[in-house]
Amino acid sequence: MHPSDRRNTGQRLPIAALALLAAGLAACSSSAPAARDTFAVWDPYPQFAAESDWAKTIDKCGAEAGVKIQRQAFDTTDLTNKVLLAAQQRTAPQVLVVDNPVVSTLAEAGVLRPISEAGLDASAAAPNLVSAGTLNGQTYGTPIGANTLALYYNKAVLTAAGVDPASIKDWASLDAALAKVKAAGKKGITFSAIGTEEGTFQFLPWFWGSGAALTDLASTQAVGALELWKSWLDKGYAPNSVIGNTQTTSWQEFATGDYAFAENGTWQLQNAKKTGFEYGVIAIPGRTGGTAPAPTGGEFVTVPVQDDKATETTAGKIATCLTSPDRVLAADTALTYVSAVPSVQQHQIAAMPELKVWVDAVQNAKGRTGDNLGTRYPRISQPLWGAVQAALTGAKTPADALKEAQATAAAAK
Q: What is the dihedral of CA 239, 381, 214, 404, to 10 degrees?
A: 80
DSSP characters over 376-390: GHHHHHHHHHHHHHH
What burial class does residue 38 get, using C-beta atoms within 10 Å of its C-beta: 0-12 exposed, 13-18 middle, 19+ buried? exposed
What is the number of other CB atoms lying within 10 angstroms of the CB of residue 82? 17
DSSP 293: P
- What pLDDT does residue 1 have? 61
Do 35 and 181 meet the contact criterion of CB atoms below 8 Å apart?
A: no
- What pLDDT does residue 262 have? 98
Strands of the 279-282 sheet, one edge to the other: 187-190, 259-265, 149-154, 279-282
- What pLDDT does residue 24 have? 46
Cα angle: 291, vertex 296, 297; to 5 degrees: 140
In the structure, how many helices (H) and strands (E) does the chain have?
A: 18, 11
- What pLDDT does residue 34 have? 43
DSSP 338: B
Q: Which of 377, 372, 349 is nearest to 362 (CA)?
A: 349
Query: What Cα–Cα distance (Å) separates residue 381 from each residue in 133, 273, 374?
Result: 17, 33, 12
Q: How far apart are CA 26 and CA 8, in angstroms?
A: 29
What separation, in Å, do the N-terminal and C-terminal C-alpha atoms of the chain show? 25
Query: What Cα–Cα distance (Å) separates residue 392 from each residue in 1, 192, 388, 406, 407?
Result: 23, 12, 6, 17, 19
- What pLDDT does residue 53 have? 86
Residue ranges for the chain with pLDDT beneath 70: 1-35, 334, 413
Do 293 and 366 meet the contact criterion of CB atoms below 8 Å apart?
A: yes
Query: Tell me: the pLDDT tens digits for 18-75?
Result: 444 444 444 443 334 445 789 999 999 988 889 888 899 999 999 999 999 999 999 8
Buried b (16+ CB within 10 A) or exposed e, 353-362: eebebbbbbb
**What is the third-level CATH fold of 149-294+373-411?**
D-Maltodextrin-Binding Protein; domain 2 (3.40.190)
- What pLDDT does residue 182 have? 98
Residue 210 CB contacts under 8 Å (≥ 6 apart), including other chains: 221, 222, 224, 225, 228, 286, 287
Q: Which of 182, 148, 170, 179 is nearest to 224 (CA)?
A: 170
Answer positive or negative: Cα dihedral of 323, 53, 265, 260.
positive
Q: Which of 145, 147, 148, 177 is nearest to 164 (CA)?
A: 177
CATH architecture of residue range(s) 15-147+297-363:
3-Layer(aba) Sandwich (3.40)
Do 385 and 203 meet the contact criterion of CB atoms below 8 Å apart?
A: yes
Q: What is the dihedral of CA 235, 281, 3, 56, to 10 degrees?
A: 180
- The full set of domain ranges for the chain reads 15-147+297-363, 149-294+373-411
Query: Tell me: the pLDDT tens digits for 212-246?
Result: 999 999 999 999 999 999 999 999 999 999 999 99
Q: Do 15-147+297-363 and 149-294+373-411 agree at the fold level?
A: yes
- What pLDDT does residue 4 have? 39
Q: How far apart are CA 19 and CA 395, in angstroms?
A: 38
Answer positive or negative: Cα dihedral of 172, 177, 182, 186.
negative
- What pLDDT does residue 33 have? 42
